Amino acid sequence: MPAFRVEVRVMPRAALLDPQGQAVQHALHALGFAEVGTVRAGKHLVLQLEAPTGDAAAARARAMCDRLLANPVTEDYHVLVEAA
Amino acid sequence: MRRVAVVVFPGSNCDADTLDAATAAGSEAYYVWHRATDLRGADVVILPGGFSYGDYLRSGAIARFSPVMQAVAAHAQDGGTVVGICNGFQILCEAGLLPGALMRNAGQRFLSRPVRVRVETTDTPCTTVYTRGEEITVPVAHGDGRFVADERTLRELEAEGRVVWRYVGENPNGSAREIAGVCSASRTVVGLMPHPERRNSAALGGSDGARVFLSLEAGHATQHAGDVRAAGGHHAGL
């Protein structure tokens, strides 16, 4: 079965306060990066998995997000699949 | 004497205090390891505070898949009492047994100090022997205590009187509507961010938390008519 490298990006919902992103933004401003606007901090997971096709790999990864990798109340996710 | 199961996850650290507090209230309390599938005839299940699985991924996200959680969900489904304290509350939200989620404190810092909360309802298994509207002092100790839920859920919680404890004076973590604790629609599943087990005797700076455990021991069904509230909200044993 073909192997895939799946990247999962999990981000806090845009409407929700992201104190970690805010703290990073403040630190960047303190370092003189005054041009920085909003900063949002999320998670980036990289999975190696086997699947018949890329679409099948993406479907499995989305199922993993729905069950575990992202919290549907607070987070959105994005799945990117490439051949390993 | 009610049987109180205190679930122990890898990384739980309030299990012993919780067991002691339940025992002090007169319950027959015992530990249940997270790999167990049998709650051994529990009347009440408590998920204690701590850092199950190191809070990896999200607080409570991995613990909710521990084998014991199927038994906990079945217990809740049958109308049994389930209480989550701090990390236990986070686990119950992750498991979908309570609505909403607990996110990083708005101020980014881990908070460990006493807070004031108001008892918003006595119609839960944890609060029968309090007085509605009473303000008490209990400690918080959390990094992820900011309760969030969508607006519809928040309105529903308020309309159904399911906000159990609410921060007063200050909102330590930025929780929506100053929520410190909520219960399920059935009222039998309760999550609290503050730690009542850390405030159950004068030696611990106060006993405002003791009545959570006295309520659990007293049993919810018998309290519904308000007989305990009529006696001033105080348990006969206090």
Chain A: nearest CA to B177, how far in angstroms? Answer: 14
pLDDT at B84: 98
Say what the pLDDT of residue B238 is: 35
pLDDT at B97: 98
Would the CB atoms of B146 and A23 count as touching at under 8 Å?
no
The H-assigned helical ranges of chain B are: 15-24, 68-77, 87-94, 151-159, 210-218, 227-230
Q: Check B34, B195, B220, B235 and give the catalytic one.
A: B195
How do residues B13-23 score in pLDDT, each as one tens digit? 999 999 999 99
List the single residue in B101, B106, B150 with the smallest CB-CB distance to A19: B106
* Domain regions of chain B by residue span: 3-222
Whether B94 is a known active-site residue: answer no
Give CA–CA dist B54/B57, Å, rounded: 9
**B191, pLDDT greater than 50:** yes
Q: Tens of pLDDT along B20-49? A: 999 999 999 999 999 999 999 999 999 999
Q: Are B32 and B7 in contact (CB under 8 A)?
A: yes
Q: What confidence score (pLDDT) does residue B231 get? A: 39
A48 within some domain: yes
Is B101 near chain A, with CB under 8 Å? Answer: yes
Those of residues 186-215 in B touching chain A at CB distance below 8 A are: none
Sign of the C-alpha dihedral, residues B205, B207, B208, B212? Answer: positive
**Averaged pLDDT for residues B93-115:** 96
Choosing from B94, B120, B197, B217, which is the catalytic residue?
A: B197
Compute the distance between CA of residue A50 and CA of residue A52 in angstroms, rounded to an integer.
7
Is the pLDDT score of B133 beyond 90? yes
Q: At which residue do the structure tokens 């009610």 appear?
A: B2
Q: Look at A68 and B57 and tell me if their CB atoms are within 8 Å.
A: yes
Domain B3-222 adopts which CATH fold?
Rossmann fold (3.40.50)
Provide the whole-model pTM: 0.91
Residue A63 within any structural domain of the chain? yes
φ, ψ of residue A50 to 5 degrees: the values are -105, 140
Helix, strand, coil percentages for chain B (3-state, nearest 5): 30, 25, 45
Question: What is the domain extent for residue A78?
Answer: 3-15+41-83
A24 to chain B, closest Cα gap in Å:
11
pLDDT in the model for residue B226 = 41
Total tally of structural domains belonging to chain A = 1
Q: What percent of chain B has pLDDT over 90?
A: 91
Q: B60 CB near a chain A CB, below 8 Å?
A: no
**What's the half-sphere exposure (Cβ side, CA atoms, 13 Å) at B21?**
30
pLDDT at residue B146 greater than cutoff 50: yes
User: Tokens at residue B17, please?
Assistant: 């205090």
CB–CB contact B107 A19 (8 Å): yes
What DSSP character marks residue B41?
A: S
Q: What is the ipTM of this complex?
A: 0.88
Among B189, B225, B192, B186, smallest CA distance to B211 is for B192
Return d(Cα B227, Cα B151) in angstroms, integer: 35
Q: Is residue A20 part of a domain?
A: no
C-beta of residue B89 within 8 angstroms of C-beta of residue B165? no
* Residue-averaged pLDDT of chain B: 93
Cβ <8 Å between A16 and B58: no
Each residue's pLDDT tens digit, B47-76: 999 999 999 999 999 999 999 999 999 999
Asked about B170 being catalytic, the answer comes back as no
Query: Does B172 contact chain A (CB < 8 Å)?
Result: no
Q: What is the pLDDT of residue B221?
A: 56
Residue with tokens 């992202």: A70
In this predicted structure, the answer to whether residue B3 has a pLDDT above a threshold of 50 is: yes
pLDDT band per the 50, 70, 90 thresholds, residue B219 = confident
B197 has catalytic annotation: yes
Using pLDDT thresholds of 50, 70 and 90, give the confidence band for residue B102: very high
Please tell me what DSSP assigns to residue B52. G
A32 falls within a domain: no
- CB of B73 within 8 Å of a chain A CB? The answer is no
pLDDT in tens, A24-73: 999 999 999 999 999 999 999 999 999 999 999 999 999 999 999 999 99
Say whether A16 and B100 touch across the interface (CB within 8 A). Answer: no
Residue-level pLDDT at B230 = 37
Kindly report the CATH number assigned to the domain that includes residue A75: 3.30.1280.10
User: Can you tell me which residue has the tokens 């890898």?
Assistant: B10
Interface touch B103/A20, C-beta < 8 Å: no
Report whether pLDDT(B235) > 60.
Answer: no
Put simply, the answer to whether B108 touches A19 (Cβ < 8 Å) is: yes
Give yes or no for residue B188 having a pLDDT over 60.
Answer: yes
Which residue in A17, A23, A68 is closest to B174 by CB distance?
Answer: A17
